[in-house]
Amino acid sequence: EAVIAGVKKFILQKCTEGRFAHGDETIVTVYRRFYQSLATRSRGLAPPWVFTTNYDLFNERAMDRSGIPYSNGFAGTVERRFNPSTYRRALAEQLDISSKRWAAVDGYVHFCKLHGSVNWTEEETGLFPIRESADKLDPAKDRVMIYPTPSKQTASFGSPYSDMFREFQRQIVQDQSVLFVMGFSFGDEHINNIIFQGLTLPGFRLIAFLNPDDANNSVAKELAALGDPRISFIWGSDEETGKKAHYFDSIVQDLMPTSADQKEEQAIEKVFKKLLFKQQGGENGEG
C-alpha cells in the first residue's frame, strides 16, 4: 500500500505541479484548439467521444475555458458524483417556444477517462461514491482514483472503470465507427482487446498516429501483419522543422479542420489559385 501511495503521489505531482501550474499555457492552448475543432463539426453528426488514459486535467480545462458543453460521467453541482446514466443523456436547446421544438446542442462532447483522474476520489459509503474534488488530493489520506499498477486490467472491472470501458466498447461496435489513436502505444491489454473486437466488424476503421519507436511493439506488429486496409498507421517528420507527425500539436495544428466549411473553403481557394495561375500565363510557362 505504501508503494502504491508513493507512485500515486508521484503521478499527482507530475500532473498538477508542472509548467502549467506556474503559468505556462502552451499545452492547454493546444487542447483548446483540439476541442474547438471538434465543436465545429457539421451539424447532424452524432457527438464525438473522446477516450483518454491520461490522469491530468488539460482536457477538462480546455473545454471549460472554451465554453464547450461535455459529459464526463459526473452529475451534480456542489458535489459532482459519477453516474454512468449521464452518458445516455443529451443536451438540447428550445428552438420555438410556441411549438415546443427542441434540437441537440452543437459542439457537445462525450468524455471518458479510462484510467481515472487526479481529481477523482472514492468514498467508503453512499449510492454514488466516486466524487470529483475541487481540492488537491493526497493519496496518503484520499482514495485517489488512479491505478498506476500492473493490475490495471483487473482493477478496471470495478466501477467507474467498468462503466467507462463499457461505453468505449459500445462506441467501437457502432456501425461505421472510426477510432483515431493519438499518444497511445497499445500498452493496455483491456483497450487492445476492445480494439481487436472492433476489427471483427466490417464497418470499423482504425487510424493510429504512432511514434516510430512504438511501431515495432508486439501489438502494432500484429495489427500491421493483418494487412487490413481498414487499419492505417501514420508517422514521420518534417525534414525542415523536425516536427513529428504523431505529436499532438502537429495533429491539431496541421491536420484538424478549423471549421465545418473548411473543405468548401479549400476548394474555392484551389479554384482561385488555378484562375490566377492562368491569368499570369502559367499554362504557357510564362510569368
DSSP state of 83: -
> What are 215-238's pLDDT values in tens digits?
778 999 999 999 999 999 998 888
Query: Over the stretch 125-141, which tens digit does the pLDDT of each residue have?
Result: 788 999 998 888 776 67
pLDDT, one tens digit per residue, over 80-90 is 999 999 998 88
Distance CA 66, CA 35 (A): 8
**Separation CA 37–CA 32 (nearest Å):** 8
pLDDT tens for each residue of 138-182: 766 778 787 644 444 445 467 888 999 999 999 999 999 999 999
Model pLDDT, residue 164: 93
CA proximity to 156, closest of 209, 204, 192: 192
For the sheet containing 178-182, what is the strand order? 178-182, 205-209, 231-234
Residue 186: predicted pLDDT = 92
Share of the chain above pLDDT 70, in %: 82
**Residue 145 and residue 28: Cα distance in Å, rounded?**
23
Give the Cα separation of 112 and 167 in Å (integer): 8
Q: Which three cell numbers stand for residue 137?
A: 488530493
Q: What is the mean pLDDT of residues 103-118?
A: 91
Contacts for 63 with CB less than 8 Å, ≥ 6 apart: 35, 70, 109, 111
- The answer, yes or no, to whether residue 108 has pLDDT greater than 80, is yes
What is the reported pLDDT for 248? 94
CB 199 within 8 A of CB 231: yes
SS3 content of the chain, % helix, strand, coil (to 5): 40, 20, 40
Q: Name residue, grid cell 477538462.
A: 60
> Strand, helix or coil at 210?
coil
Distance CA 166, CA 107 (A): 23
